Amino acid sequence: MEVLKVDSLVKSFGSRRAVKGVSFSVAKGETVAFLGPNGAGKSTTLRMIAGYLEPDAGDAITNGASILSDRTRAQLSLGYLAEGAPLYLDLSVKDFLGFLARTHGLTRPSAKIAIDRVSSDAGVTNVLSQPIETLSKGYRRRVALAGALVHDPPLLILDEPTDGLDPNQKFSMRALIARMSADKAILISTHQLDEVEAMCSRAVLIDRGEIVADATPDALKAKVPSGSLEEAFHLLTKGERAA
């Protein structure tokens, strides 16, 4: 079942066209990697899907709702972990999750249940009453992820969820994402190719605003003699030409 359908998204900043007609889809149970070099248009695409940026053309349909014509319903169906995991540092973890739960329309009792569930899933139960500003980077990412999950959305969009984390923190974040993958559609923007191989059933490659590949990690690896995903990435994103 298709949860996200991205249809010909276009976005320009001034005279620079950042995203040039990007289309792909993500189905329930799929964890799709959204790969590309820096400045390829990954975050811009994710921001358009999440409703933070308005596309110049095209649309993103989440759970049947268009981000252009039915924005609120589309946003109710997605959980978005933005790049850098922005958080209200002055709030405690519990208050932050409560704020998001109530904004998503959860009643007080439902919000309490949801906060218990996501704090357990994200492994932040032990820091629930702590101000976010006192937490480590790894915990902050977990809190941000818990916030994206608090309304139990069918689609999860994660923009570089493991960026800046130490190996242990990366390991537990990946395990957490893997646990959720069965009953959600997950789209992850990442630079970590080992993460793609470990977690993702499919990879969509974007380069200079255009989709250059949409295949399983194994199919991508088969495109190069060495069978290395890194080399396939390099080849498909014209790394040599850029260098």
Partner 1 sequence: MIDKLRQPANALRSVYVRELAAYFLTPLAYVFIAIFLIALGAFTFEIGRFFDTNQADLSPFFLFHPWLYLIFLPAVAMRLWADETRGGTLELLLTLPAPTWSIVLGKFLAAWTVALAALILTTPMWMSVTWLGHPDHAAIALAYVVSFLMAGGYLAIACAMSAVSANQVVAFVLSVAVGFVFTAAGLPVVASGVGATFGPSAAEALASFSLLTHFESAQHGVLEARALVFYIGFIGLFLTLNTIWIGARKGG
Closest approach, Cβ 203 to partner 1, in A, equals 24
Q: Between residues 29 and 51, which has the closer beta carbon with respect to partner 1?
A: 51
Q: Between residues 50 and 199, which has the closer beta carbon with respect to partner 1?
A: 50
Closest approach, Cβ 114 to partner 1, in A, equals 14
CB within 8 A of 18, min separation 6: which ones? 11, 12, 41, 44, 209
Gap between the Cα atoms of 116 and 168, Å rounded:
24
Gap between the Cα atoms of 18 and 150, Å rounded:
31
Closest approach, Cβ 80 to partner 1, in A, equals 5
Q: How far is CA 158 from CA 110, 184, 223, 239, in A?
A: 24, 13, 27, 25
Q: Where are the alpha helices (DSSP H) in the chain?
A: 42-50, 71-76, 93-103, 108-122, 137-149, 167-180, 193-199, 217-221, 229-236, 239-242
Closest approach, Cβ 55 to partner 1, in A, equals 10
Q: Between residues 59 and 197, which has the closer beta carbon with respect to partner 1?
A: 59
Gap between the Cα atoms of 210 and 21, Å rounded:
7
Q: Between residues 89 and 178, which has the closer beta carbon with respect to partner 1?
A: 89
In a 10 Å sphere around its CB, with 0-12 CB exposed, 13-18 middle and 19+ buried, how is residue 54 labelled? exposed
Q: Between residues 41 and 217, which has the closer beta carbon with respect to partner 1?
A: 41
Gap between the Cα atoms of 224 and 239, Å rounded:
14
Q: What's the token pair of residue 74?
A: 């589309």
Provide the binding-site residues for partner 1, judged by CB under 8 A. 11, 13, 44, 47, 50-54, 71-73, 75-76, 80, 82, 84, 86-91, 95, 99-100, 102-105, 147
Q: Between residues 110 and 228, which has the closer beta carbon with respect to partner 1?
A: 110
Closest approach, Cβ 53 to partner 1, in A, equals 5
Q: What's the token pair of residue 235?
A: 């080849």
Closest approach, Cβ 49 to partner 1, in A, equals 10
